[in-house]
Structure 1
Amino acid sequence: MAHSNCNACAFYEDHAANSDSKLQNAGLCRANPPISQPAAETRGFWPVVSANDWCGKFSGAVAAE
Protein backbone atom coordinates (compact mmCIF):
# COMPACT_ATOMS: atom_id res chain seq x y z
CA MET A 1 0.00 0.00 0.00
CA ALA A 2 1.33 3.40 -0.89
CA HIS A 3 -0.26 5.28 2.03
CA SER A 4 -0.65 2.72 4.80
CA ASN A 5 0.63 4.95 7.60
CA CYS A 6 -1.36 5.85 10.70
CA ASN A 7 -2.78 9.22 9.60
CA ALA A 8 -4.43 7.49 6.60
CA CYS A 9 -5.97 4.77 8.79
CA ALA A 10 -9.65 4.69 9.77
CA PHE A 11 -8.60 4.02 13.40
CA TYR A 12 -6.33 7.11 13.74
CA GLU A 13 -7.60 10.19 15.57
CA ASP A 14 -5.75 13.49 15.89
CA HIS A 15 -4.61 13.89 19.50
CA ALA A 16 -5.09 17.00 21.65
CA ALA A 17 -3.10 17.42 24.84
CA ASN A 18 -4.70 18.39 28.17
CA SER A 19 -3.99 22.01 27.30
CA ASP A 20 -6.26 21.60 24.22
CA SER A 21 -3.30 22.32 21.96
CA LYS A 22 -2.72 19.85 19.16
CA LEU A 23 0.45 17.76 19.52
CA GLN A 24 2.71 17.95 16.48
CA ASN A 25 2.47 14.83 14.29
CA ALA A 26 0.75 12.73 16.99
CA GLY A 27 -2.56 10.90 17.21
CA LEU A 28 -4.46 8.18 19.03
CA CYS A 29 -4.70 4.63 17.70
CA ARG A 30 -8.28 3.43 18.16
CA ALA A 31 -7.78 -0.02 16.58
CA ASN A 32 -7.99 -1.71 20.02
CA PRO A 33 -9.67 -0.88 23.35
CA PRO A 34 -7.85 1.49 25.73
CA ILE A 35 -5.04 0.00 27.79
CA SER A 36 -6.04 -0.25 31.45
CA GLN A 37 -3.97 1.11 34.29
CA PRO A 38 -2.87 -0.89 37.35
CA ALA A 39 -4.70 1.33 39.87
CA ALA A 40 -8.50 1.44 39.93
CA GLU A 41 -8.62 5.24 40.26
CA THR A 42 -6.56 5.86 37.10
CA ARG A 43 -8.02 5.89 33.60
CA GLY A 44 -7.14 3.69 30.68
CA PHE A 45 -5.46 5.27 27.69
CA TRP A 46 -5.28 4.92 23.92
CA PRO A 47 -1.80 4.42 22.47
CA VAL A 48 -0.28 7.65 21.12
CA VAL A 49 1.33 7.14 17.72
CA SER A 50 3.11 9.29 15.16
CA ALA A 51 1.10 10.12 12.06
CA ASN A 52 3.86 8.47 10.03
CA ASP A 53 3.88 5.20 12.04
CA TRP A 54 2.32 2.04 10.65
CA CYS A 55 1.21 -1.41 11.80
CA GLY A 56 -0.33 -4.60 10.46
CA LYS A 57 -3.89 -3.51 11.36
CA PHE A 58 -4.11 -0.65 8.85
CA SER A 59 -7.63 -0.07 7.56
CA GLY A 60 -8.44 2.61 5.03
CA ALA A 61 -11.30 4.99 5.80
CA VAL A 62 -14.71 3.65 4.78
CA ALA A 63 -17.19 6.08 3.22
CA ALA A 64 -20.51 6.44 5.07
CA GLU A 65 -23.55 5.23 3.18
Structure 2
Amino acid sequence: MVFSAAVWPGWAVTVVLEQEALQAGVRTVLIENYELTVTADVQCPAGVAIIPGSGSRARPRSTAKRPR
Protein backbone atom coordinates (compact mmCIF):
# COMPACT_ATOMS: atom_id res chain seq x y z
CA MET A 1 0.00 0.00 0.00
CA VAL A 2 2.80 2.46 0.72
CA PHE A 3 4.06 2.05 -2.85
CA SER A 4 0.73 3.01 -4.43
CA ALA A 5 0.49 6.13 -2.26
CA ALA A 6 4.01 7.17 -3.27
CA VAL A 7 3.27 7.02 -7.01
CA TRP A 8 -0.22 8.53 -6.89
CA PRO A 9 -0.59 10.48 -10.16
CA GLY A 10 -0.72 14.27 -9.96
CA TRP A 11 -3.73 14.43 -12.30
CA ALA A 12 -5.83 12.71 -9.65
CA VAL A 13 -5.36 15.58 -7.17
CA THR A 14 -8.09 18.23 -7.09
CA VAL A 15 -6.99 21.77 -6.28
CA VAL A 16 -9.62 23.94 -4.59
CA LEU A 17 -9.40 27.73 -4.48
CA GLU A 18 -9.39 29.50 -1.12
CA GLN A 19 -12.73 31.34 -0.93
CA GLU A 20 -11.42 34.62 0.53
CA ALA A 21 -8.57 34.82 -2.00
CA LEU A 22 -10.99 34.13 -4.87
CA GLN A 23 -13.35 36.87 -3.67
CA ALA A 24 -10.47 39.35 -3.36
CA GLY A 25 -9.25 38.45 -6.85
CA VAL A 26 -12.70 38.90 -8.40
CA ARG A 27 -13.07 42.27 -6.68
CA THR A 28 -9.66 43.39 -7.99
CA VAL A 29 -10.52 42.38 -11.56
CA LEU A 30 -13.86 44.21 -11.42
CA ILE A 31 -12.19 47.39 -10.18
CA GLU A 32 -8.94 47.38 -12.18
CA ASN A 33 -9.93 45.68 -15.44
CA TYR A 34 -13.56 46.73 -15.78
CA GLU A 35 -13.22 50.08 -13.98
CA LEU A 36 -16.26 49.38 -11.82
CA THR A 37 -17.03 50.89 -8.43
CA VAL A 38 -17.74 47.90 -6.20
CA THR A 39 -19.78 48.92 -3.17
CA ALA A 40 -20.90 45.47 -1.98
CA ASP A 41 -18.95 42.46 -0.79
CA VAL A 42 -18.02 40.03 -3.53
CA GLN A 43 -19.38 36.57 -2.75
CA CYS A 44 -18.02 33.41 -4.36
CA PRO A 45 -19.01 29.84 -3.57
CA ALA A 46 -16.76 27.76 -1.35
CA GLY A 47 -14.93 24.75 -2.73
CA VAL A 48 -14.38 25.99 -6.30
CA ALA A 49 -12.16 23.39 -7.96
CA ILE A 50 -9.58 24.14 -10.62
CA ILE A 51 -10.34 21.88 -13.57
CA PRO A 52 -8.12 22.31 -16.65
CA GLY A 53 -10.11 23.17 -19.76
CA SER A 54 -13.27 24.12 -17.89
CA GLY A 55 -14.85 27.54 -17.78
CA SER A 56 -16.45 29.53 -15.04
CA ARG A 57 -20.19 29.86 -14.59
CA ALA A 58 -19.85 32.73 -12.15
CA ARG A 59 -22.50 35.40 -12.41
CA PRO A 60 -22.15 38.88 -10.96
CA ARG A 61 -24.46 39.65 -8.06
CA SER A 62 -23.42 43.17 -7.25
CA THR A 63 -24.58 46.74 -7.54
CA ALA A 64 -21.23 47.68 -9.11
CA LYS A 65 -21.45 50.60 -11.50
CA ARG A 66 -19.07 52.11 -14.03
CA PRO A 67 -17.91 55.62 -13.21
CA ARG A 68 -19.40 58.30 -15.47
- Tell me which interval the TM-score lies in, with the shorter structure as reference length: under 0.3
Could you say which structure has the higher strand fraction? 1
Structure number, greater radius of gyration: 2
Could you say which structure has the higher helix fraction? 2
TM-score computed with the length of structure 1 as normaliser? 0.27
